[in-house]
A and B are shown apart, each in its own frame.
Chain A
Amino acid sequence: MRRDDLRPALFGTAIRDRVLIRLALSENGLHVRELARQIEASANAVHRVVIALERAGVVVSRPVGTTRIVLLNRRWYGAVELRALLDRLVAAYPEVRDRAGAFRERPRRIGKPL
């Protein structure tokens, strides 16, 4: 993440903004390390943000194998409005959108050509 990033930290910090925007672009959620890699932040920092957002009910995490997948909590009372806002904010974060676009979430059949 660039230190001279002049975009407003709408949700408190730049990392928090990026975490939420990246999760809004995710269909099935991401584990913390992948989330951190996608937004170019440290896993520790992203982990702290996820814990705070989970405590607030905005995101949820659930175990998948040996990792935990984080995703926006669609049960949260403001989920629809938050997603609409995040969908608008994606335009201000083209690098997050581009990385998300290049990241495949769905499983790929073994042997299928790229």
Chain B
Amino acid sequence: MTLGDDAGLVDVAFAACTVLARAGETAVLCGGSAAAYYVPDRYQSLDIDFVVEVGAAPHIVDRALSTIGYTLSTEGHYRHERLPYTLAFPIGPLSIGRDYITAWRTERRGDALLHVYTPTDVVRDRFLHFWAWGDRTALEVALAVARARATDVDTAALHAWVEREIQADASYDASRVARFFASLRDL
């Protein structure tokens, strides 16, 4: 598998996920890069975040990614000589707030594959950024994904998750929740 000089975020994400899968490691695209996958016209990122299953051997990850030209940099990310995208592997487990993520979508493109957050999980992950830090861009991205993938986003699951988070940490800003759900209704 090779990456051309014009490879974009999605191309790199597919390539990285595929070579890792062939090496026996499951890596799931998450964070802002998962949002960029669903709404590339609304959000772009140069950082591609994957969470690999706990226990993945670093040398296996290094070797797999080297086959597509990515090598470990001193900052702990993987970089490519010609492409601007960096690959990062935040420490797992895969989670959004207090929920562990155990299911994701697997997209296929020829013999390549990509494990990626579901649209519902992207929406709540981006919303959580807004909820916790007041990041308005994250809110806009959450709403953009909800709009683009309206039939795939489980609003009831979002409500139930927000309730669980509030029960665990009552200090979360309730006005941001109200604003989020009001915006979802107006889509």
Contact = CB atoms under 8 A, between A and B. Distances in A.
Contacts of A75: 97, 128-129, 132
A56 B98 CA distance: 15
Contact of B100 (A55, A57, A74, A77): A77
A79 B169 CA distance: 9
Contact of A57 (B90, B129, B168): B90
Interface range on chain B: under 10, 10 to 19, 20 to 34, or 35 or more?
10 to 19
Contacts of A77: 93, 95, 97-100
A56 B97 CA distance: 15
Contacts of B99: 77
B55 interface: no
A80 interface: yes
B154 to A, nearest CB: 20
A76 B133 CA distance: 13
Contacts of A88: none
B15 to A, nearest CB: 24
A28 to B, nearest CB: 12
A100 B82 CA distance: 48
Contacts, number: 24
B91 interface: yes
B97 A55 contact: no
Interface in A70-93: 74-77, 79-80
B91 A74 contact: no
A2 B133 CA distance: 36
B110 interface: no
B175 to A, nearest CB: 17
A62 B97 CA distance: 19
Interface residues of A, number: 10
B4 interface: no
A57 B54 CA distance: 14
Contacts of B76: 55
Interface in B46-98: 76, 90-91, 93, 95, 97-98
Interface string B86-126: 00001101010111100000000000000000000000000
Nearest to B88: A55
Contact of B168 (A56, A76, A80): A80
Given A77-B98, A80-B168, 19 more contacts: A55-B76, A55-B91, A56-B91, A57-B91, A74-B132, A74-B169, A75-B97, A75-B128, A75-B129, A75-B132, A76-B95, A77-B95, A77-B97, A77-B99, A77-B100, A79-B98, A79-B169, A80-B98, A80-B169
12 contacts: A56-B91, A57-B91, A62-B133, A74-B132, A74-B169, A75-B129, A76-B95, A77-B93, A77-B95, A77-B99, A77-B100, A80-B98
6 smallest CB-CB distances across A and B, nearest first, come from A77-B95, A80-B168, A75-B132, A56-B91, A74-B132, A80-B169
